Structure 1
């Protein structure tokens, strides 16, 4: 399924994915160990996210940072799924902090908190690569690691 085909909001999509993946994660852990399970899961989910990024850019007909801000932020935070504060939004720069994240709450509820970064956070780079490989993300803090916020810092190489 690509981004454009998703008939549900983003959090619901992640809930469905996690519920399907949970038994597979546990089986992979049992057979291959936790680190190999995480590596395999990350590879698969990054592939999906990269394609989602490509599909969004294609659907929008553009892939600049403004298009990213105007379309991706509402998708992620839609229906109040995040508390998000934009710190800077200028040509070539987008900086915001997420101080509350229902995605993390979801993974806790499902007993997958230790996989929150693989199931959600780490996919942001692959999505961005698919959307526009000239955009960069730096995120040194995440709620999933116990930090006070997820500090998103996007820049454009062009």
Structure 2
């Protein structure tokens, strides 16, 4: 019998993943260097996020991904106080919003994870998730909290 990961709050799952991935990073970096270690983690995280995007697309009521359905992911991303999201705008072609507080960056600092892992463990998931959701979805994010900005700016475009 498998574990239902959906029953574990997302922030808790990310903490568990981060603890293990930080160990893999340290071990890999000691043997092959930091650049190789980040490359290995990035590939694994991209694959997991892509598959999560595909699974979310499959959860649409008619099985057809759309920007309207994709916008519902914001509730999942905000759950458990993980993110504070404001200025949400959505129409048939674009979804934009601002993340003003990132609980993941707070969590990673509390866990004393290496700073170079923060964006890799969290931010890099977004583009891969969008690609997994639909080839019609593109993402732009010119700034992030993990890079020192006061907020993350997101723009997803639906291009059929």
Q: TM-score, normalised by structure 1?
A: 0.92
Please give the per-residue CA displacement for 1:60-87, whole angstroms capped at 9, x wherever unaligned: 22311111111x1011111222111134
Whether the aligned pair in 1 keeps the contact of 2:11 and 2:80 (CA below 8 Å) is no
What is the CA–CA distance in structure 1 between the aligned matches of 2:139 and 2:40, rounded to whole Å?
A: 23
RMSD: 1.3
Relative to structure 2, which stretch is displaced further, 24-33 or 56-65?
Answer: 56-65
Within a 5 Å distance, the mapping from 1:9-88 to structure 2 comes to 9-60=9-60, 61-70=63-72, 72-88=73-89
What is the CA–CA distance in structure 2 between the aligned matches of 1:25 and 1:76, rounded to whole Å?
A: 25
Whether the aligned pair in 2 keeps the contact of 1:97 and 1:150 (CA below 8 Å) is yes
Say which SS state the counterpart of residue 6 (structure 1) adopts: helix
Say which SS state the counterpart of residue 76 (structure 1) adopts: helix
Within a 5 Å distance, the mapping from 1:116-131 to structure 2 comes to 116-131=118-133
Deviation at 1:5, TM superposition (A): 4.2
What is the CA–CA distance in structure 1 between the aligned matches of 2:65 and 2:87, rounded to whole Å?
A: 20
Q: Count how many residue pairs are aligned between Structure 1 and Structure 2.
A: 154
Whether the aligned pair in 1 keeps the contact of 2:90 and 2:96 (CA below 8 Å) is yes
What is the CA–CA distance in structure 2 between the aligned matches of 1:102 and 1:155, rounded to whole Å?
A: 25
Q: TM-score, normalised by structure 2?
A: 0.91
Whether the aligned pair in 2 keeps the contact of 1:128 and 1:136 (CA below 8 Å) is yes
What is the CA–CA distance in structure 2 between the aligned matches of 1:104 and 1:79, rounded to whole Å?
A: 15
Higher helix fraction: Structure 1 or Structure 2? 1
Q: Which residue of 2 aligns with 1:105?
A: 106
What is the CA–CA distance in structure 2 between the aligned matches of 1:117 and 1:76, rounded to whole Å?
A: 16
What is the CA–CA distance in structure 2 between the aligned matches of 1:103 and 1:91, rounded to whole Å?
A: 30
Unpaired segments of 5 or more residues in structure 2? none
Unpaired segments of 5 or more residues in structure 1? none
